[in-house]
Amino acid sequence: MAAAVFRSGLCRIFRHRPSLGATALTFERARYTSRAVEKAQFIWMDGQLVPWDEANVHVLTHTLHYGLGAFEGIRCYECSDGRSAIFRLKDHIVRLNNSARILGLQCPYDVPTMIDACIETVKANQLKECYIRPLLYVGAGEMGLAATANPIRLSVAVWPWGAYLGDAGLDNGIRVRTSSYQRFHINSLMTKAKAVGHYINSILASIEARDAGYDESLMLDVDGYAAEGCGENLFIIRDGRVKTPPIATVLEGITRSSAIEILRAKDVEVVEERFTRDEVYIADEAFFTGTAAEVTPISSLDNRTIGSGKPGPITRSVQDEYFAAIKGERPDRSDWLTYI
């Protein structure tokens, strides 16, 4: 049974779920645009497809305690011709492999095997569109910070997932606030790794924004410059010129690189340089990119309306081209898609 749930002006469809109980109410209230995962049939674990409810790990799994692990978020789309295709699958898996190297994890699978695992899992679950979550994690065995003998395990889960920041957000833009939490220093944590433990920083900032009635947070770097959203890269447009923070302090977003490629193909100047939050205030347009967020316009930051307060022409052109590409409607970008 499905019920329409309205939160922060966004209409999303949630599956019926039992009460979470008093201990979870505060956290659930904060997650305005989140929703329960819709169960699929199988999860790929260490080379085997396991029934969803049997895909379990031991409570002493090392990553569960210490956060050392790497993951990816990938989308599979139903294309206009009815086929399904995974967006930039190889790029995501190469980044996953690179994250493992950065973290010193000896990945037991090569890139082609992990690509095949993602494809196999989507096919086994018979989903036309879905979110794909490969996770490399340190299994049970030794405990303590310097454990080195534990197995490195891989799982791949898939589930249906709509617009992360809401369909209304994609259409009309989202309200953003500057977070009190900073993006971490490049020598505190490794910014090129999409690491499990890194996301504590993002979770705190995301909950802070939603508890205050906003859709998302903008995080600054340790020098006070605009860095990124909680799970998105940032773009601003002023006088027809596009800026995005350099990758020194942010994750190298795959949707980010797609947006840059789209913009440059349209002969729009794109500059990767630092800028302050007040430059976002006076921008003509701004948007976030990410696998989950896709291309989401920003209508305001810290209650300052950006431009007209509606998605601008450059943002719309990136959205249009991006969604055409993921639907298989751009033959010149067919290399972004892995058909299954």
Domain co-membership, 175 together with 316: yes
Q: Is the pLDDT of residue 100 over 60?
A: yes
258 within domain boundaries: yes
254-265 vs 313-326: helix crossing angle, rounded to 10: 110
pLDDT higher than threshold 80 for residue 18 = no
Q: Are residues 78 and 112 in the same domain?
A: yes
Is 234 buried (19+), middle (13-18) or exposed (0-12) by CB count in 10 A? buried
Residues near 2 by Cβ (< 8 Å), separated by ≥ 6? 13, 14, 15, 16
Judge whether 193 and 202 are in contact, CB under 8 Å.
no
pLDDT at 165: 74
Tokens of 223: 């020098």
Torsion of Cα atoms, 29 then 27 then 166 then 289, to 10°: 150
CATH code, domain carrying 178: 3.20.10.10
User: Who contacts 17 (Cβ-Cβ below 8 Å, separation ≥6)?
Assistant: 36
Structural domain that includes position 186: 167-326
Tally of structural domains, the chain: 2
Determine whether 90 is an active site residue. no
Alpha-carbon distances, residue 231 vs 103, 235, 254, 256, 305 (angstroms): 20, 13, 12, 12, 22
Catalytic residue among 90, 123, 194, 243: 194
pLDDT value at position 249? 86
* Among candidate residues 159, 192, 224, the one where a domain is terminated: 159
Q: Is position 333 within any domain?
A: no
Kindly report whether the global pTM for this prediction surpasses the value 0.85: yes
Specify which residues 153 forms β-bridges with.
137
Q: Which residues contact 90 (CB under 8 A, 6 or more apart)?
A: 111, 115, 338
Last residue of a domain, one of 132, 159, 186: 159
- The confidence score (pLDDT) of residue 281 equals 98
Q: Residue 119 has what pLDDT?
A: 98
Predicted confidence at residue 246, as pLDDT, reads 96
Decide if 148 is inside a domain: yes
Q: pLDDT digit string (tens) for 247-297?
A: 988 999 999 999 999 999 999 999 999 999 999 999 999 999 999 999 999
The CATH number for 119's domain is: 3.30.470.10
User: In terms of pLDDT, which residue wins out, 204 or 13?
Assistant: 204
Do 195 and 300 fall within a single domain?
Answer: yes
Kindly state whether residues 222 and 312 are assigned to the same domain: yes
Say whether pLDDT at 41 is over 90.
Answer: yes
Last residue of a domain, one of 159, 176, 205: 159
Considering the domain architecture, whether residues 298 and 204 belong to the same structural domain is answered as yes
